[in-house]
């Protein structure tokens, strides 16, 4: 097997693992965000540093971002552009945008820019990029380690949704969000990467990936992946 084919096979396997963890999270297993963080690290750090990455993807690889830009004049300091918040009779939850077209135009970014784009800003004004979140969830929340290390201030604030200015109340009592802003953001990062890379995988290798990407930012069509339901 030549180098490029061997690399694509490894990438396809990691994307398949990422897809499996993502779908498990969609089924209600929020702890799968830790598994997702490890898969994202392997793809976006380990494989992206392999010289064969550019041979496979080309120098012009673009990843699509569903990040909603801040609203000018908004008095809310915190910002979580990859996750929406919902309140319902059965509880409250943050929800990843999924495959639904975001309210702003989908933008394409170079991989290196997408990776360091700010996707969480806490009420204290501290920010986290996709890279920050993935690295810290993997290292501090048990993604790849069996123990927790002291997290950074910004990660600690994002870990607790009160650090973003949100509090869940259910039946007149304080409650936990069914899915936190941090967890929903990690899920959406996975979705962006899957929708950007899976269509580029050869059909033979793509067969191992259980993720519906019939609609893609690379072609025409309608979204087909349902939004996760954490309200039930």
Please provide residue 84's backbone torsions phi and psi, each rounded to the nearest 5 degrees.
Answer: -100, 160
Dihedral sign, CA of 84, 220, 191, 109?
Answer: negative
Note down pLDDT in tens along the chain; length 232 residues: 467 789 999 999 999 999 999 999 988 898 999 999 999 999 999 999 999 998 888 777 888 888 877 766 665 678 888 988 887 767 788 888 875 544 445 678 899 999 999 999 998 989 999 999 999 998 888 767 666 667 889 999 988 888 888 877 666 777 677 888 899 999 999 999 998 899 889 989 999 999 876 444 444 433 333 334 433 3
Are 76 and 178 in contact by the 8 Å Cβ rule? The answer is no
In the structure encoding, which two tokens stand for residue 152, read together? Answer: 């950074």
DSSP state of 49: G
In the structure encoding, which two tokens stand for residue 46, read together? Answer: 């380990």
Q: What is the pTM of this model?
A: 0.85
């Amino acid at each position: 097997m030549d180098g490029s084919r061997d690399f694509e096979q490894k990438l396809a396997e990691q994307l398949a693992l990422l897809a499996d963890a993502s779908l498990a999270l969609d089924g209600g297993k929020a702890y799968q965000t830790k598994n997702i963080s490890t898969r994202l690290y392997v793809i976006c750090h380990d494989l992206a540093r392999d010289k064969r990455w550019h041979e496979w993807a080309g120098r012009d690889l673009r990843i699509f971002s569903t990040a909603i830009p801040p609203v000018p004049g908004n008095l809310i300091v915190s910002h979580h552009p990859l996750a929406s918040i919902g309140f319902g009779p059965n509880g409250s939850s943050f929800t990843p945008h999924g495959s639904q077209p975001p309210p702003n135009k989908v933008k394409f970014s170079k991989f290196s820019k997408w990776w360091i784009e700010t996707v969480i800003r806490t009420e204290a004004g501290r920010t986290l990029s996709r890279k920050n979140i993935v690295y810290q969830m993997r290292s501090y929340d048990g993604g790849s380690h069996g123990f927790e290390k002291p997290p950074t201030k910004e990660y600690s604030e994002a870990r607790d949704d009160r650090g973003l200015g949100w509090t869940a109340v259910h039946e007149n009592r304080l409650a936990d969000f069914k899915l936190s802003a941090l967890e929903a953001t990690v899920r959406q990062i996975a979705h962006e990467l899957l929708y950007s890379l899976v269509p580029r995988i050869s059909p033979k290798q793509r067969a191992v990936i259980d993720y519906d990407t019939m609609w893609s930012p690379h072609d025409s069509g309608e979204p087909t992946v349902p939004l996760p339901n954490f309200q039930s």
